[in-house]
């Protein structure tokens, strides 16, 4: 994949999107395809092997040793929406919404919800999918395009640390915890000194991408601007696709983190046979394509995927089954 400053190859998307305040998925997913699939992002579940998860009050009442013992025994594992629905006695269906699956109050916090048997289910990640999940989806999609070696990847510009900026604070920071009080004091002053920060000269703060790309043109879509890349979309069918991406997070790797790269917000081949959309506010990835490509994705047991109709309502209030 290579960055391109000419964003006109993405103009066709804008022409197929509805008004951004439209109540259907077509505020972000283009019209005009034979079929659509919704691939649910996996949630996680935390549990204790011999007892329910403690409440906040119970946790506060524990001694430090009891808290540590509890932490050491907590099991965290990926789970599915189907298992979550079963645990909460709700119904999983193609247009299900997480807060209704976990029976959360409309004005409540549904990021983590506890079942009657004491397991804690945490909401899926929004706006991104794992490298493995994207590779699984892409392995189907590349078989349904005449241009598997050429296509576009658009990354939402708001992804943390992706772009550099002209300012007086870094786009992000990596803190090293140590025992040196003088070093810690220096860190505290650098982070918590807003008065002096205002008067400091603005300098270029590096991001993952170069300054040329960071200050370059954007693919402008309703409510979202993207950095556009062109290249071999077949690369995403490999589990190690992150290693070859120009937006690979090498600064984080230099601080000991494993190789990683943001999954594309939008991905499509040159022939536009399909489009993959991972909208930042969605807890699922939407694919538009042929009936055959959508059927293949929905049949893959590694994915929790459903065929959905055109004009599907994926807003927070769109789940009419679990009201």
Are both 133 and 273 inside the same structural domain?
Answer: yes
Is 319 contained in some domain? no
Is 145 contained in some domain? yes
Are both 155 and 218 inside the same structural domain?
Answer: yes
Q: What is the mean pLDDT of residues 42-53?
A: 82
Predicted local distance difference test score (pLDDT) of residue 178: 52
192 pLDDT above the threshold of 60: no
Are both 85 and 219 inside the same structural domain?
Answer: no
Are both 231 and 149 inside the same structural domain?
Answer: yes
Residues 176 and 186: beta-carbon distance below 8 Å: no
Are both 29 and 175 inside the same structural domain?
Answer: no
Are both 240 and 300 inside the same structural domain?
Answer: yes
Report strand pairing: 224-231 vs 44-47.
unpaired
Percent of the chain whose pLDDT exceeds 90: 66
Is 24 contained in some domain? yes
Residues 23 and 232: beta-carbon distance below 8 Å: no
Please report which helix (H) or strand (E) contains residue 15, including its range: helix 11-15
Are both 103 and 241 inside the same structural domain?
Answer: no
Query: What range does the domain containing 87 cover?
Result: 44-122
At 148-188, the pLDDT tens digits run 999 999 999 998 899 997 775 665 665 554 555 555 555 55
Are both 286 and 180 inside the same structural domain?
Answer: no
Cβ neighbourhood burial of 300 (10 Å; 0-12, 13-18, 19+): middle
Number of domains within the chain:
3
Is 76 contained in some domain? yes
Are both 50 and 111 inside the same structural domain?
Answer: yes
Are both 135 and 241 inside the same structural domain?
Answer: yes
Q: What is the mean pLDDT of residues 136-142?
A: 98
Are both 179 and 304 inside the same structural domain?
Answer: no
Are both 188 and 104 inside the same structural domain?
Answer: no
Q: What is the mean pLDDT of residues 192-211?
A: 71
At 77-95, the pLDDT tens digits run 899 999 999 999 999 999 9
At 235-254, the pLDDT tens digits run 999 999 999 999 999 989 99
Give dist(CA 214, CA 217) in Å, integer.
9
């Amino acid at each position: 994949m290579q960055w391109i400053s000419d964003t006109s190859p993405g103009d066709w998307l804008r022409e197929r999107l509805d008004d951004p305040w439209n109540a259907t998925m077509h505020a972000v997913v283009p019209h005009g395809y034979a079929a659509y699939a919704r691939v649910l992002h996996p949630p996680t579940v935390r549990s204790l092997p011999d007892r329910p998860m403690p409440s906040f009050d119970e946790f506060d009442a524990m001694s430090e040793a009891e808290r540590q013992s509890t932490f050491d025994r907590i099991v965290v594992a990926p789970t599915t929406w189907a298992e979550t629905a079963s645990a909460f006695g709700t119904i999983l269906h193609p247009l299900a919404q997480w807060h209704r699956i976990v029976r959360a109050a409309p004005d409540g916090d549904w990021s983590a919800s506890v079942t009657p048997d004491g397991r804690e289910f945490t909401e899926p990640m929004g706006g991104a999918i794992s490298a493995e999940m994207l590779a699984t989806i892409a392995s189907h999609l590349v078989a349904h395009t005449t241009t598997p070696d050429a296509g576009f990847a658009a990354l939402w510009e708001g992804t943390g640390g992706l772009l550099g900026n002209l300012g007086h604070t870094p786009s992000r920071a990596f803190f090293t915890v140590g025992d040196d009080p003088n070093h810690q004091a220096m860190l505290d002053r650098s982070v918590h000194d807003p008065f002096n920060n205002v008067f400091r000269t603005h300098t270029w703060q590096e991001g993952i991408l170069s300054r040329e790309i960071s200050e370059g043109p954007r693919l402008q879509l309703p409510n979202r601007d993207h950095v556009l890349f062109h290249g071999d979309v077949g690369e995403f069918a490999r589990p190690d696709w992150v290693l070859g991406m120009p937006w690979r997070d090498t600064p984080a790797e230099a601080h000991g983190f494993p190789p990683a790269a943001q999954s594309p917000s939008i991905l499509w081949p040159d022939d536009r046979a399909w489009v993959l959309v991972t909208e930042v506010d969605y807890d699922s990835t939407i694919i538009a394509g042929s009936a055959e490509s959508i059927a293949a994705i929905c049949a893959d047991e590694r994915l929790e995927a459903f065929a959905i109709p055109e004009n599907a309502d994926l807003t927070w209030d769109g789940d009419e089954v679990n009201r």
